[in-house]
Amino acid sequence: MLEVKNLHVKIDGKEILKGINLKVNKGEIHAIMGPNGSGKSTLAQVLAGREEYEVTKGEVIYEGKNLLELSPEDRAREGLFLAFQYPVEIPGVSNTNLLKTALNEIRKARGEEEVDALEFLSLIKERMKLVELDQSLLSRSVNEGFSGGEKKRNEIFQMAVLEPKLAILDETDSGLDIDALRIVANGVNKLKSNDNSTIVVTHYQRLLNYIIPDFVHVLYNGKIVKSGGKDLASELEEKGYDWVKDPSNELVSN
């Protein structure tokens, strides 16, 4: 599905990612953890195609294609989805309108017909239930006046409608109370299949109690310094990030 090889990324002349290697296979859930400023969000943004970041070295292969050559919209059309850490407000544009436009552009790129209005309506109504989102949010402007929790749930709702192959959840748990966390995780789990993959970027271990990862990677100072199974997350929680900062524990990234 995705293979990141020796990825180096700069922003404003400063190197943030210093040689990331990561392989995500179909059907896998990977968690990327790390302290603030370690480069987690940068990785998510670079994979989604944000232009301010300059890739100085390395490559990213997604579904056999050179991901870095694709425009952000083409990546999305190829099935890559980013749930934003800070979802953007778009005044005057309803959620429904955004999703319909998005879905149709994705379909068009795949040579499929535009979605029928009734079919679309039943699709979004069904997917709303996954994240227990109130129907009134459909006609409201995208993220405008949404609470922090509603914004995050809305991201997962959009993901549910667009059905990506590779979803990257960037700090989707931040700002969520425990109930909302459970709802969001539930949604993600229901969308999981053997054909899609998920990268969960998070600071805390608590989301991983609900979304059980196959692999956990610890990002520190622009490098993956530790990789392991789901138990690594609990270990981290117990020992804190200082543990990975300790040079005696530093491992060569996989």
Partner 1 sequence: MSTTEVSTIEQLANREYKYGFVTEIETETFPKGLNEDIIRRLSAVKNEPEWMLEWRLKAFKHWLLMKEPHWSNVYYPPIDYQNISYYSAPKRKPKLNNLEEVDPELLNTFEKLGISLEEQKRLTGVAVDAVFDSVSVATTFKEKLLELGIIFCSITEAIQNHPDLVKKYIGSVVPYTDNFFASLNSAVFTDGSFAYIPKGVRCPMELSTYFRINAANTGQFERTLIIADEGSYVSYLEGCTAPMRDENQLHAAVVELIALDNAQIKYSTIQNWYAGDKEGKGGIYNFVTKRGACRGINSKISWTQVETGSAITWKYPSCILQGDNSIGEFYSVALTNNKQQADTGTKMIHMGKNTRSTIISKGISAGRSNNSYRGLVRILKKAENARNFSQCDSLLLGDKCGAHTFPYLEINNPSAQIEHEATTSKIGEDQIFYLNQRGISTENAIGLIVNGYCKQVFKELPMEFAVEAQKLLSISLEGSVG
Under the rule (CB under 8 A), what is the footprint of partner 1?
Answer: 48-51, 71-73, 75-77, 81-82, 84, 87-88, 90-93, 97-99, 101-103, 105-106, 109, 141, 158, 162
Measured CA distances, 218 to 11, 61, 67, 83, 115 (Å): 21, 21, 23, 20, 41
* Cα gap 14→210, rounded to integer Å: 35
Q: Which is nearer to partner 1, 13 or 92 (CB)?
A: 92
Q: Which is nearer to partner 1, 86 or 243 (CB)?
A: 86
Q: Which is nearer to partner 1, 109 or 212 (CB)?
A: 109
Q: Which is nearer to partner 1, 161 or 188 (CB)?
A: 161
Q: Which is nearer to partner 1, 35 or 87 (CB)?
A: 87
> Could you tell me the smallest distance in angstroms from the CB atom of residue 80 to partner 1?
8
* Cα gap 76→3, rounded to integer Å: 17
> Could you tell me the smallest distance in angstroms from the CB atom of residue 52 to partner 1?
8
> Could you tell me the smallest distance in angstroms from the CB atom of residue 44 to partner 1?
11
- The strand pairing partners of 169, in sequence order, are 83, 200
Q: Which is nearer to partner 1, 108 or 125 (CB)?
A: 108
Coil/strand/helix, residue 66: strand
> Could you tell me the smallest distance in angstroms from the CB atom of residue 76 to partner 1?
4
Contacts of 54 (CB under 8 A, 6+ apart): 9, 10, 11
> Could you tell me the smallest distance in angstroms from the CB atom of residue 197 to partner 1?
17
Contacts of 154 (CB under 8 A, 6+ apart): 87, 95, 131, 133, 137, 142, 143, 146
Burial code of 209-233, b = ≥16 C-beta within 10 A, e = fewer? ebbebebbbbbbbbbbbbbbebebb
Token look-up 């879905």 returns 103
Residue 122: burial class (beta carbons within 10 Å; 0-12, 13-18, 19+): exposed
> Could you tell me the smallest distance in angstroms from the CB atom of residue 74 to partner 1?
8
Token look-up 């990002």 returns 219
